[in-house]
A and B are shown apart, each in its own frame.
Chain A
Amino acid sequence: MKLSRRDFLKLSAASAALASAGCSAPREPIVPYAMQPEMTLPGVPRFYASAASFVGAAEGVLVESNTGRPTKVEGNAAHPGSLGATSVHGQASVLQLWDPERSQAPRRMRQPAAREQFESELNEALVRLEARRGAGLRVLTPTVVSPTLQSQLVELAARLPEARVHRWDPLNRDATHEGARLAFGRALEPIYRLEDSRAVLSLDCRFMEDEPGRLNYIRQYARSRSPKPQSMGRLYVLESAPSLAGAMADHCYAMPLAEIERWLLAFANAPAADRTMRAIADDLKKNRGLILAGEGLSPWAHALVYRLNHELGAPVALIDPIDPYPQPHAQSISDLAQAMHAGEVELLVIVEGNPGYDAPADLDFAAGLARVPLSVHLSLYDDETSARCTWHLPATHYLEHWSDARAFDGTAAIVQPLIAPLYGGVSPHEIVSLLLRRPQSGYESVRGRWKAIDWEAALRKGVVENTAFPPVKAALRTVALPTPKEPAAWSVRLVPDSSVLDGRFANNAWLQELPRPDTKITWGNAALISADSARQLEVESGDVLEINTHGATIHVPACVVPGHPEKSVTIALGYGRARAGRVGNGAGCDAYPLRLSDSLWSADATSIHKTGSRQALATTQNHARMEGRGHAKHIALADLIGQARAFEDETPEHSLYPAWPYDSYRWAMSINLNTCVGCNACTIACQAENNIPTVGKDEVIAGREMHWIRVDRYFEDRRTLFMPVPCMHCENAPCEYVCPVGAPVHDSEGLNLQVYNRCVGTRFCSQNCPYKVRRFNFLQYSKDDEPLKAQKNPEVTVRMRGVMEKCTYCLQRITRARIEADKENRRMRDGEVVTACQAACPAGAIVFGDLADEQSQVALAKRSPLKYDLLAELNTRPRTSYEGRVVNPNPELDNG
């Protein structure tokens, strides 16, 4: 009688949980607390507000804790960087916390060593350096979003004036800030108010995935898409690499970066000369246009965009950067590398980041590091940089430490720990306090920084009131515009990966297995290439390309993507890691060798050719065309006006059998394709909530991924259409009547249930599911590993092999709400049940609720003229329905 996981989770006190792990007793133990912690009730989850930073700004989170274990991350509606939504990284961060391969002990020259030894070595060095006012001490950090850490670093500079603090963040804002420096004479950060503009032109700006305000911007974008002629916005996108914005654009033009810059110059100088430019320029002028510039563009292009926005009166505010570092990161790390090579660095403290892997290739950072007598690396993993440093210290995860963080608009939030450091990690504040020779806990540092605020309220709410940066009034200067360089024959565009970003999430299986939005590739990257270019090189998806640039050669499999710019390949950074861990090692290919400090986002290729070898791409969707089947429907705004129904209802009117009566709640979901940007937050939120296992690259190739809600992506009519597909909860469910044991059945509220403990695994249900949303545990995918199992949601059964599973409409959440309502003898209210996918969605594209309540959000959505049922003609009567997408092309332009 093996200890069952759920009982284990439910009953073990947090303190006893890890101690008693893995014990297999003939009798099941029931372990109470010795000392009852305050405010905990076993079996009742609690939520704590905190903040997580992934792309250079904080996203507010509410973290669910079950008997002391953080299990799930939700968005914080009060936080401007979240607005209630979460990014895929926010969702996956909880898995990172429990990653068994996180570094668990300090290491000296790769060997486990005692922390005391580290402190004494550090102190010894510091004593020596202090005598020289810090000369020889260098600190390297990624973007610092923590005001407390900023103050600590300022204090360090004051104490040791000869010491230097460097920045290197692979996802830096150099171009944006340098552009502002050109335009205004100081580094500034633009804050877009997309919803105030009815015509947005994005110049390669990846504002839905990589910009610090991404969640906020997606929400704003979604709001701007209300399909009304007076208010609906229009989005023009010029992109050098597939992006979510490009997929959502009403007009999307793909061209390499250099071409975009040339286009911008022409657009700024003589928009009337070209029909497209003229139409866009007119639209921008008429409709409070806004231009967004991406990090890939040169500073001068940014400066030009600042000027054009100014001329347009665009809804954009300028604020001080949330990390007020005076230098571009590329410059800063170059200086550091130079100093290291020159032997000027005696003590280097790298506070997070992984420059040994991701520093610009031309700096030869690793070799420089070898010349530093005492180097210290603080990081979550014992990674590539750790291996080259004298010391490696395990860092604390953000769910383990006290800190603070600013959102993209400057709003501060307190980062509070939900669990004591699992492996005795050190927080950035603590290590800097060691450098200050005034050892302090993180809590003391952070509390000390925020003396004047209502601390309790800030913790409860998850934001510190009134800390957003005020807009800056800055005068424009004239900018000398260069003659743009001739584009190279072939260029390589480097982009942060939507899953692993710069590589820091490489060991996160959820993110690795999350299909990348544009390619549906998992477990790796590829050289994205247009169909025409692929034909030219005679390659197909999966053929390995050899790419040569000045000084570097990489091998990477090609992946043909319709709508990709010609003569260009896009490669995501963050792969090919050697010391990521068992999950991340060897996934994909490393594109950092192509990345130079003077050209962070693109490289000119001297040659690209096919090698002849092949590498299977683990894609979750192998067929990108819809074959005219109209699953993901869309309609032009002009065609929608005056229509009661945008799409014909093909549900057969008659049924042989009478319909079952539903006299209680009637759960239903509506998914709005008009606002869905395809970011995958729903998929990964569902994975976190519902204990969905990952299966690994080989199993994905075999076609066995487990996601309960997948985001289909079709290329149709020169558009990219996204379509999240969960279980449809059909009233006439084809899956049910074929099951010999009645494992899939309906309940009285219309949920299509899958009773795992009844399932014998005939897979008949999946065979008969026209939507193919059922997932099968072909092998034992759910592992019972410590400490990963601590992440599991105790309210959801962990499925064993041989069992079918699928979306349950978050039955556990319905049940919880029902029990609370029943205790109060009332009906559940609209909005009381929020599914995991719905909660995570930055666009608010998913609504869920009770159809029996005519006023519920979902009932409202079902009355929308855009509503349609997927495969309605099969008479499955799905409870999940869609609202079709509305595109708003400019009538002056023909590609739409």
Chain B
Amino acid sequence: MAELRGDIAAPLRRWSYASVSDKIADLVLTRPAHWPWLAGFAVTFAGSALFFGAIAYLFVKGVGIFGINIPVAWGFAIANFVWWIGIGHAGTFISAILLLLRQKWRTSINRFAEAMTLFAAGIAGLFPILHLGRPWFFYWLAPYPNVMELWPQWRSALVWDIFAISTYLIVSLLFWYAGLIPDLATLRDRATSRAKRVAYGLFALGWRGEARHWARHESLYLLLAGLATPLVVSVHSVVSLDFAICIVPGYHSTVFPPYFVAGALFSGFAMVLTLAIPMRHFFRLEDFITLRHLENSAKVLLACGWLVAYGYFIETFTAYYSGDPYEIAMVQDRLAGFYAPFYWFLLLCNVLAPQVFWWRRARRSVWLLFAMSIVVNLGMWTERAVIVIQSMHHDFMPSAWGNFIPTAWDWTLLLGSIAFFAFLFLLFLRFLPAISISEMRELVHEEKHA
């Protein structure tokens, strides 16, 4: 078992079972909503309303409200989808893979990262439906007996997507909920109002912390982690196959699965930082989410930056190495064509900017970290958009070349989805423990006996 490093462990020694439980539970149970939360809630609520208003308009008018066309028939919606699902990878990565690797420091960040995963994956799952021409038939992508005796077309990566994303959503939800049950019991037992006791009590399922329950719970938790680990790799691999099984230059690329997974972690960790830094500040959680946590995340960002840089390099390299004129033309267009500024922007954000994390001082500067997390998020979104859009706008037939210009509705749905995500996260902070209480108690226990 990897022991906690001193700079994570030291602050923990100040805490006892009771104080750590009370601190985290009271964020939910007794602490009144103060102005930053209320302001955030108001803004994101308005943004969410806009988001759903735009969706309603979209359903009334059709996807023609976006800037898509032939040849660029996929636009922001797909870029948003890939981006969000990528963000949704960090939670499970932290929870499952770091759990299997016995990285104890994950304990204080896994819960909210999992929540982030759920919300991001849920929003991601919306986009493929929103971008359908006839969204009311989205259930045709699922297998079920019907009077047409028709089935999904199993060779399509979009069907794989449906299975991968719904599996991922369900498994992430179970994983998150399984971890939440003991904490819900804590909230139930600590709540002072009857309504809260009933509400938390219902979801706690009568958890009472019996030793056999803990044993089965622990083993399930580990098994879920074991299942989620290949799952998390598979999901973004499958998402990348949406592109890679195409024959279009810029899509058709064997490097896509690992490159997409790396990109997913990259944006996911960036989003973890974007959320963690204000949260730890406003809720005074510096003892739990320590500078060491932030530093570790910064190292992950640095590593992922190099992984995606490798992806960018290989894409360009294979194009020239293949000698395929269409591939080469696509790369040249990427570097110098209509959308080239975006490509250079994403290189700046994703490759160049994270290099600052070679310096320890940068890794430990909270506000720089926060700024960098936004930069990486921007860069990763741009990367998705460039892949989706730029690859298509100049493909095989010059006669069919055309540009995609986003409309106000494209932007509304992107920004609206971000607002809705933040809205869900704010609700989560208000109603559920943002840090796993039972696991923190375990840590405190271990530290006591270390």
Contacts and interface: CB of A to CB of B under 8 A. Distances in A.
Whether the complex brings A and B within 8 Å at their CB atoms is answered yes
Contacts of A710: 399
A803 B133 contact: yes
Given A761-B63, A874-B247, A740 B156 contact: yes
Contacts of A874: 247, 396
Interface stretch (A186-194, A208-216, A472-480, A627-635): A627-635
A813 interface: no
B152 interface: yes
A734 B134 contact: no
Given A704-B64, A779-B61, A768 B133 contact: no
A447 interface: no
Contacts of A771: 396-397, 400
Interface stretch (B157-165, B293-301, B348-356): B157-165
Contact of B158 (A723, A740, A770, A779): A740
B73 A776 contact: yes
B447 to A, nearest CB: 51
A625 B71 contact: no
A739 B247 contact: no
Contact of A704 (B70, B141, B396): B70
A761 B74 CA distance: 11
A767 B392 contact: yes
A780 interface: yes
15 contacts: A622-B402, A622-B403, A702-B67, A725-B399, A737-B245, A741-B150, A759-B134, A760-B134, A760-B141, A762-B128, A767-B248, A770-B247, A778-B68, A802-B62, A874-B247
Interface of B: 61-64, 67-74, 128, 131-135, 137-138, 140-141, 150-153, 155-159, 162, 242, 245-248, 251, 325-326, 329, 392, 395-403
B413 to A, nearest CB: 16
A760 B397 contact: no
B330 to A, nearest CB: 12
A617 to B, nearest CB: 13
B70 A740 contact: no
Interface in A746-803: 758-764, 766-768, 770-772, 774-780, 800-803
Contacts of A723: 399
Contacts of B399: 621, 623, 631, 710, 712-714, 723, 725
A163 interface: no
Given A738-B158, A763-B73, A767-B248, A802 B134 contact: yes
A760 B140 contact: yes
A633 to B, nearest CB: 14
A703 B156 contact: no
Contacts of B159: 740
B403 to A, nearest CB: 8
**Max chain A Cβ within 10 angstroms of own Cβ: one of B131, B137, B392, B399:** B399
Contacts of A621: 399-400
Classify chain A's interface size: 35 or more
A740 B398 contact: no
B246 A768 contact: yes
Given A621-B399, A741-B137, A770-B395, 14 more contacts: A623-B398, A704-B70, A739-B153, A740-B153, A741-B153, A758-B140, A760-B137, A760-B140, A762-B132, A766-B71, A768-B247, A776-B70, A802-B135, A871-B396
A724 to B, nearest CB: 11
**Max chain B Cβ within 10 angstroms of own Cβ: one of A723, A737, A767, A779:** A767
A536 to B, nearest CB: 27
Contact of A741 (B63, B152, B246): B152
Contacts of B402: 622, 703
B62 A770 contact: no
A802 B63 contact: yes
B14 to A, nearest CB: 54
A742 interface: yes
A626 interface: yes
B158 A703 contact: no
Contacts of A759: 133-134
A740 B131 CA distance: 14
Given A725-B397, A871-B396, A742 B153 contact: yes
Given A712-B397, A714-B398, A801-B133, A779 B62 contact: yes
A761 B134 contact: yes
B245 A772 contact: no
Contact of B152 (A628, A702, A742, A766): A742
B62 A767 contact: no
A773 to B, nearest CB: 8
Interface string A296-331: 000000000000000000000000000000000000
**Max chain A Cβ within 10 angstroms of own Cβ: one of B135, B326, B392, B400:** B400
Nearest to B138: A760
B387 to A, nearest CB: 12
Given A760-B141, A764-B158, A772 B150 contact: no
A580 interface: no
Contacts of B251: 767
Interface in A478-515: none
A262 B62 CA distance: 58
